[in-house]
Amino acid sequence: MEYNIAVVSGDGIGPDIIREAKKTLTRVGDVFGHQFQFEDLLAGGCAFDAHGTPLPEETVTACKRADAVLLGAVGGPKWDTLPGHQRPEQALLGLRKQLGLFANLRPAILFPELADACLLRKEAVEGGLDLMVVRELTGGIYFGEKGTKETEQGLAAYDVEIYSEEEVRRIAVVAFELAMKRNRRLTSVDKANILESSRLWRRVVNEVAPAYPEVMLSHMYVDNAAMQLVRDPRQFDVIVTGNLFGDILSDEASMITGSIGMLPSASLNVENFGMYEPIHGSAPDIAGKNVANPMATILSVGMMLRYTFGLAKEADAVEAAVRNVLRQGYRTQDLMSPGMNAMGTEEAGDRIAAAIGK
Ligand code: NAD
């Protein structure tokens, strides 16, 4: 089968890590008999330098035409003083919006090989950790009405948290479907004791539930969820929540694994078309130095194979290859600990590609 992938390397370490992710895909193609075609596109600071805009129209058009989008990272100090609409981050928001990517999937995986990097006490993560946060990405308070008004106490500002039944229903379906493919436990996180929008959220999630009788659904208030994530993260399988709560909880969930260079993400639309990217930024401090960890990006490619292309065996092979290299004691600089063998970005990519087999 042939797949066309729009590739946005972006800024900073973006090109370093994307190069290695392409190696992985090419190797998957060779081993499993697929063809992956890459179309390189500009977005972020480099696009501003070349075209005066962080998100050129031709990049959007090419992404829409592709079977999936692979993104490195955007941004850096060079563009920090630009006005809001010209900043590299606008490229991400623009792509999410124009591609209709409403479901953000962020797995928090602690590989047993990296247990020492975890910030929690050993008993809390014995045997590793594998949970998935599903965050609604195009609604809620980030997109609700906002503004300022004069009051007797001076100027006031407001942002409205608003969700429609349809917005909640479609993200709930994504989360239930995912739970079906995992351990069949789903926790919906809200603040229904206080917020009207959360009460609607909870009602709609409950309405979707009967279609998935095998999934054990529970509800949790967001303050409790924040606490439970550090107290006992293994109680969670899939967490589904709105844009604002998801922004905070997915960062919390990923950071308890202690390794920003290991965590992938997917943003999907209704047809499972997706944009895949590591959760970290462009790390300008280490760009071009052959020290960036490419594994978050390589694991993002694994998610692309699984969720957009439906290639589960190939996705398993990518994840197994990453674990194999770790098991052999190889570490990039960010994961280094005494007794391990150091490897650079390129060597990591070569070793992972070589470890991919049927
Ligand atoms: P960052 O994630 O880029 O870096 C934080 C720290 O983690 C740095 O010390 C960096 O060297 C390290 N790090 C990050 N990824 C790594 C990897 N793969 N291997 C080894 N070490 C890694 O966050 P930041 O410093 O806050 O932001 C830098 C730039 O990235 C900013 O311009 C920011 O706006 C942008 N950013 C972009 C995205 C994105 O494109 N999705 C996300 C976050 C931040």
| Shared domain check, 348 and 321 | yes
Confirm whether 341 is domain-assigned.
Answer: yes
Mutate to test the pocket of ligand 1, among 93, 280, 298 (most ligand atoms within 8 A of CB): 280
Q: Does 336 fall in a domain?
A: yes
Q: Confirm whether pTM is higher than 0.75.
A: yes
Q: pLDDT tens track of the chain, all 358 residues?
A: 899 999 999 999 999 999 999 999 999 999 999 999 999 999 999 999 999 999 999 999 999 999 999 999 999 999 999 998 899 999 998 999 899 999 999 999 888 888 877 888 888 888 788 999 999 999 999 889 999 999 999 999 999 999 999 999 999 999 999 999 999 999 999 999 999 999 999 999 999 999 999 999 999 999 999 999 999 999 999 999 999 999 999 889 888 877 789 999 999 999 999 999 999 999 999 999 999 999 999 999 999 999 999 999 999 999 999 999 999 999 999 999 899 999 999 999 999 999 999 7
**In contact, 331 and 280? CB cutoff 8 Å:** no
Beta strand 330-331 with 146-151 is unpaired
The residue whose CA has the least distance to atom 22 of ligand 1 is 261
The CATH number assigned to the domain holding 247 equals 3.40.718.10
Parent domain of 8: 1-106+264-358
85 CA distance to ligand 1 middle (Å): 21
Is 293 in the same domain as 181?
no
C-beta 285 within 6 A of ligand 1:
yes
Residue 220 belongs to some domain of the structure:
yes
Q: How far is the CA of 343 from the centre of ligand 1 (A)?
A: 20
Same-domain pairing of 123 and 240: yes
Say if 114 falls within a structural domain: no
Q: What are phi and psi of 128, to 5 degrees?
A: 95, 175
Q: Does residue 246 share a domain with residue 224? A: yes
Q: Ligand 1: which of 93, 254, 260 to mutate, most ligand atoms within 8 Å of CB?
A: 260
Q: Is residue 111 part of a domain?
A: no
172 class by beta-carbon count within 10 Å (0-12 exposed, 13-18 middle, 19+ buried): buried
Active site residue 330: no
CA 99 remoteness from chain centre: 16
**112 within domain boundaries:** no
Burial class from Cβ neighbours inside 10 Å (0-12, 13-18, 19+) for residue 224 reads exposed
Q: Is there a single domain that holds both residue 6 and residue 35?
A: yes
Kindly write down the DSSP assignment for every residue of 77-133, as one continuous string.
Answer: GGGTTS-GGGSTHHHHHHHHHHTT--EEEEEEEE-GGGGGG-SS-GGGGTT-EEEEE
The number of distinct structural domains making up the chain is 2
How far are the Cα atoms of 17, 101, 296 from residue 345, in angstroms, in the given order?
7, 29, 12
Are residue 239 and residue 291 in the same domain, yes or no?
no
| Domain-ending residue, one of 218, 237, 256 | 256
Task: At 270, list the tokens.
Answer: 């209704």
Same structural domain, 84 and 127 = no
Tokens 């692979």 label which residue? 70
Distance CA(112)–CA(157), nearest Å, equals 46
Which of 93-130 are b and which e, b meaning 16 or more Cβ less than 10 Å from the residue's Cβ? ebbbeebbbbbbbbbbbbbebbbebbebeeeebeeebb
217 close to 186: Cβ distance less than 8 angstroms: yes
Using DSSP's 3-state secondary structure scheme, residue 173 falls into helix
Q: Say how many Å lie between the CA of residue 14 and the centre of ligand 1.
A: 10
Flag whether 193 is in a domain.
yes
> What sign has the CA pseudo-torsion 201, 202, 204, 205?
positive
Q: Cα of 282 to ligand 1 centre, how many Å? A: 4
Q: Are residues 170 and 135 in the same domain?
A: yes
Tokens 């609409």 correspond to 85
Supply the DSSP symbol for 53: S
Q: Do 1 and 124 lie in a common domain? A: no
Residues 51 and 123 both lie in one domain = no
| Contacts of residue 313, Cβ cutoff 8 Å, sequence gap at least 6 | 32, 358
Which residues, listed in sequence order, are joined to residue 244 by a DSSP beta bridge?
A: none
Let me know whether 269 and 247 are in one domain: no
Residue the block writes with tokens 């696009």: 47
CA-79 nearest atom, ligand 1: 32
Is residue 113 included in any domain, yes or no? no
Q: Give the side-chain half-sphere CA count within 13 A for 168.
A: 22
Do 138 and 214 lie in one domain? The reply is yes
User: Closest by alpha carbon to 211, among 238, 239, 174?
Assistant: 174
